[in-house]
Amino acid sequence: MTKTGKTRAEAPLFLNRELSWIEFNFRVMAQAEDATLPPLERLKFAAITASNADEFFMVRVGGLKLLQAQGEEHPDPAGLTPSEQLADISVRMHELVARQYACLRKGIEPQLRKGGIHRLKMEELTAAQKRHAEALFDDFIFPVVSPVAVDPEREFPLLAGLEIALYVRLAGEPETGGVRHALVAVPRGLARFLTVPGESGFAYVLLEDVIRTYVGRLFSGVPVLECVAFRLTRNADMSVREDLAGDLLAQMREVLVERKESGCVRLELEKHASREARAFLRAALQVPEADVYAVPGPLDLAAFFRLASLAGNEALKISPWTPQPVPGAPAAESIFDILKRGDLLLHHPYEHFDPVLRLVQEAADDPNTLAIKQVLYRVSENSPVVTALMRAAERGKHVTALIELKARFDEARNIDWADALARAGAQVIYGVKGYKTHAKICVVVRREPAGVVRYVHFGTGNYNEKTARLYSDISFLTAGEDYGADASVFFNTLTGYSQQVKFRKIEAAPLGIRPRLLELIGAEAERSRQGEEAAIDAKLNSLADPELIEALYKASQAGVKIQLNVRGICCLRPGVKGLSENIRVVSIVDRYLEHARLIRFHNGGDPRLFISSADWMPRNLDRRVELMVPVEDSACAERLDEILKTGLADTQQAWRLLANGTYERRQPDSRHPALRSQEAFQRRAEARAAAAQQQIPVLEPQRPAEQKKQG
């Protein structure tokens, strides 16, 4: 039964995508609730659940709201209509909010106070601290804030989504009575966490609490009856109409404006808000009661990620793991010489991202570089990759950068980078019409004595050196001729009018990955029917594609042993008798975000291993440009195999998916010893780096015999 009481008998094969995502967020929340972790690490996970929820409401709930408004009630593969999904989502998300704030109040903040970090309410301040807070208001806050009167008969003032504001209820005119209404937007340019002097540790108050305390000064002579913090979430499920003529760059700028004015899909407000305040905001923003979240604590928990990341307080954080140098890529050697010797596989963040950066940076400065071609989806704010591409273009190299302007929530940054690269002389492509380009690829074309050589990087993660320290990803670098030829053909299909052609090794969505996966899954099923050993192992972020799920069901029924490591959304029901009893699904939640996509087919004892930028979802396989790359070098393939097997064997940070869509924490037992996969990867990277360091020869000068004796 669903939360709305509807049976799922008409669609028993699939789990609902949105509810599966919420289950993932509950697994992240379990990390925040883990009392064995230090409090700032727990706070980080709580902040992640809040950030995830923000995007979920903006995009997924926003999309369902649009379908509902259009009267579209066609059920999803799990048999739920948009209205039914929204009802189920509301129930589960209210449960998640309750868990978030119970954890903050009962677990995290008491631990933080013991460690010297105190969030103080204004009534808890000493006289000296109150004077300090009042001075902050007078000197820094009062000159910035601007109250806005609200007339119920007129349009509600435009407020930015995900920003905190204060609703102020004021006494009416003495002659007429009644009440008046006003809003005070909490300034984005001011620090949220305001330090107040204390005898020891770090004491702070929240910016909105200070404004609330002195809000009467903004309404001189008018009694303030109530002041309540609230936060609205706007629908961000906006897209460009690429079928219409026009400038894509201009259309994307219009989308950014539309998001600021779109409808409200969630209203968060403080739990102590009066019925009058709640009713007024609900009516003004046209929010159903199911979309109102009364929060028993500070709004915008996602902002507390900054507090968790503050320098210092190391005793309240986990011990850091340091990315290790790559044994096969010494820093003193040219990356081109390294790749001439053979392929290179990197496991981030356990191993440095530096070799990937070096490929672009060396190419920019190398006089023998003829061209650099790269797809950029999400890059950092001060990206060394983009800086290198600009430098290469300015030095006369042919630089082609495909910058995906439709990378959600990174559109503004990507627009700025596109402008900068174009000014530097690079050829800039704004994605592919009708599709998002999500592939991770860079090719360097170099003139060498033997002819033109292409050096290629394929990845599962973005060209972002910051997230490369937070996300678990794979990089594959090669100078193999077939890979280079495929890379050139791939870019030609993106930048020209070519139709996708047959590649030598790789496959690309939207045309090639789905049929190739179906072929490989079907081949394993046929081997099993013939009595041969057959197996499929895969590591994905999401599994929601009905066609691939049905293919896996058929393979399971044929006897194929299938093990899946799916971090987030999984719409497949494992372990159902007669359907999927040969399928096992786990999900790992640990200090790093699991992000790599890896696939292994047993292939009759000659395993085939792939990395991919694509999850197994309709959007990735049908509406995005993605890559799936075979890794054939024996050493690199063995490492991928080891990474897959280690993740599947995790018994400390893994959760097992049950047929009903719930998850249970895996526990070590006599057959499955204790194993934390991310820790195992870190220790292996350290061991590999240490072993390589020991192998470095010590250069000792040869001295005459007499000189040796004297020494």
3-class SS of residue 522: helix
| Cβ pair 624, 438 in contact under 8 A | yes
Q: Is 338 or 406 the better-scoring residue by pLDDT? A: 338
What is the average pLDDT across 470-493? Answer: 96
- Residue tagged 């704004």 (tokens): 430
**Which helix (DSSP H) or strand (DSSP E) does residue 479 occupy?**
none
- Which is it for the CA torsion 384, 387, 391, 392, positive or negative? positive
Question: In which band, very low, low, confident or very high, does the pLDDT at 706 lie, cut at 50, 70 and 90?
Answer: low
Catalytic residue among 181, 348, 352, 438: 438
**Which helix (DSSP H) or strand (DSSP E) does residue 212 occupy?**
helix 207-213
Fold match between domain 1-115 and domain 117-298? no
- Count of alpha carbons within 13 Å of 268, Cβ hemisphere only? 24
pLDDT of residue 310: 85
Question: In which band, very low, low, confident or very high, does the pLDDT at 80 lie, cut at 50, 70 and 90?
Answer: very high
What is each CA distance from 544 to 14, 16, 620, 659, 689, in whole angstroms? 9, 9, 10, 15, 38
Output the furthest CA–CA distance in the chain (Å, rounded).
Answer: 111
Question: In which band, very low, low, confident or very high, does the pLDDT at 312 lie, cut at 50, 70 and 90?
Answer: confident
| Cβ pair 439, 512 in contact under 8 A | no
The 8-class DSSP code of residue 178 comes to S
Which of 369, 386, 366, 368 has the alpha carbon at shortest distance from 378? 386
| Cβ pair 501, 492 in contact under 8 A | no
Q: Which CATH number fits domain 117-298: 1.10.10.10, 3.20.20.60, 3.30.1840.10, 1.20.1050.10?
A: 3.30.1840.10
Question: In which band, very low, low, confident or very high, does the pLDDT at 408 lie, cut at 50, 70 and 90?
Answer: low
Question: In which band, very low, low, confident or very high, does the pLDDT at 92 lie, cut at 50, 70 and 90?
Answer: very high
Residue 280 has pLDDT above 90, yes or no: yes
Considering only 198-207, 213-222, 411-420, which range has the smallest mean pLDDT? 411-420
509-544 pLDDT per residue, tens? 999 999 999 999 999 999 999 999 999 999 999 999
Q: Is 290 or 12 the better-scoring residue by pLDDT? A: 290
Considering only 125-139, 259-273, 331-345, 445-459, which range has the smallest mean pLDDT? 259-273
Domain boundaries of the chain, sorted by first residue: 1-115, 117-298, 335-505, 508-689
Tell me how far apart the alpha carbons of residues 357 and 475 are, in angstroms, rounded to a whole number. 11
Tell me how far apart the alpha carbons of residues 276 and 166 are, in angstroms, rounded to a whole number. 14
Residues 6 or more apart whose CB falls under 8 angstroms from that of 390 comprise 420, 421, 424, 426
- Report if pTM > 0.85: yes
Which of 213, 194, 208 has the alpha carbon at shortest distance from 165? 208
Tell me how far apart the alpha carbons of residues 562 and 601 are, in angstroms, rounded to a whole number. 10
Q: Encode burial over 177-195: b for 16+ CB neighbours within 10 A, e otherwise.
A: eeebbbbbbbbeeeebebe
Which of 344, 234, 229, 325 has the alpha carbon at shortest distance from 287? 234
- Count of alpha carbons within 13 Å of 350, Cβ hemisphere only? 24
The average confidence (pLDDT) of the chain is 91
Query: Token pair of 423, please?
Result: 């000014």
> What length does the chain have?
711
Q: Is 438 a catalytic residue?
A: yes
Residue 2 has pLDDT above 60, yes or no: no
Percent of the chain at pLDDT above 70?
91
203-257 pLDDT per residue, tens? 999 999 999 999 999 999 899 999 999 999 998 865 544 443 344 445 445 544 5
Residue 11 has pLDDT above 50, yes or no: no
Tell me how far apart the alpha carbons of residues 248 and 178 are, in angstroms, rounded to a whole number. 50
Residue 701 has pLDDT above 80, yes or no: no
What is the average pLDDT across 602-631? Answer: 97
pLDDT of residue 255: 47
CATH classification (class only), 335-505: alpha beta
Question: In which band, very low, low, confident or very high, does the pLDDT at 7 lie, cut at 50, 70 and 90?
Answer: very low
544-564 pLDDT per residue, tens? 999 999 999 999 999 999 999
624-675 pLDDT per residue, tens? 999 999 999 999 999 999 999 999 999 999 999 999 999 999 999 989 999 9
What is the average pLDDT across 308-318? Answer: 91
pLDDT of residue 552: 98
CA angle 699, 705, 708 (to 5 degrees): 60
668-700 pLDDT per residue, tens? 998 999 999 999 999 999 999 999 888 765 556
3-class SS of residue 179: strand
pLDDT of residue 197: 93
| Cβ pair 525, 534 in contact under 8 A | yes
Residues 6 or more apart whose CB falls under 8 angstroms from that of 160 comprise 185, 188, 260
Tell me how far apart the alpha carbons of residues 627 and 613 are, in angstroms, rounded to a whole number. 6
| Cβ pair 372, 392 in contact under 8 A | yes
Question: In which band, very low, low, confident or very high, does the pLDDT at 4 lie, cut at 50, 70 and 90?
Answer: very low
Tell me how far apart the alpha carbons of residues 232 and 160 are, in angstroms, rounded to a whole number. 8
**Residue 403, burial from CB neighbour count under 10 angstroms (0-12, 13-18, 19+):** buried
Q: What is the CATH number of domain 508-689?
A: 3.30.870.10
Fold of 1-115: Methane Monooxygenase Hydroxylase; Chain G, domain 1 (1.20.58)
pLDDT of residue 178: 83
Tell me how far apart the alpha carbons of residues 355 and 359 are, in angstroms, rounded to a whole number. 6
pLDDT of residue 355: 97
Q: Encode burial over 350-371: b for 16+ CB neighbours within 10 A, e otherwise.
A: bbbbbbbbbbbbbbbebeebeb
What is each CA distance from 375 to 387, 430, 463, in whole angstroms? 14, 10, 9
What is the average pLDDT across 355-379? Answer: 96
Residue 389 has pLDDT above 70, yes or no: yes
pLDDT of residue 711: 44
**Which helix (DSSP H) or strand (DSSP E) does residue 654 occupy?**
strand 654-657
Question: In which band, very low, low, confident or very high, does the pLDDT at 501 lie, cut at 50, 70 and 90?
Answer: confident
Query: Token pair of 217, please?
Result: 């000064």
- Residue tagged 């609330």 (tokens): 212
pLDDT of residue 409: 58
CA angle 117, 101, 309 (to 5 degrees): 40
Query: Token pair of 436, please?
Result: 């998002």
Residue 599 has pLDDT above 70, yes or no: yes
Report phi then psi at 333, rounded to 5.
-105, 145
Tell me how far apart the alpha carbons of residues 400 and 492 are, in angstroms, rounded to a whole number. 11
Tell me how far apart the alpha carbons of residues 220 and 223 are, in angstroms, rounded to a whole number. 8
| Cβ pair 478, 644 in contact under 8 A | no
What is the average pLDDT across 69-89? Answer: 92
Beta strands, E only, 70-174: 117-119, 147-150, 164-171
Please report, for the chain, how many H helices and E strands are present, in that order. Answer: 21, 27
pLDDT of residue 173: 78
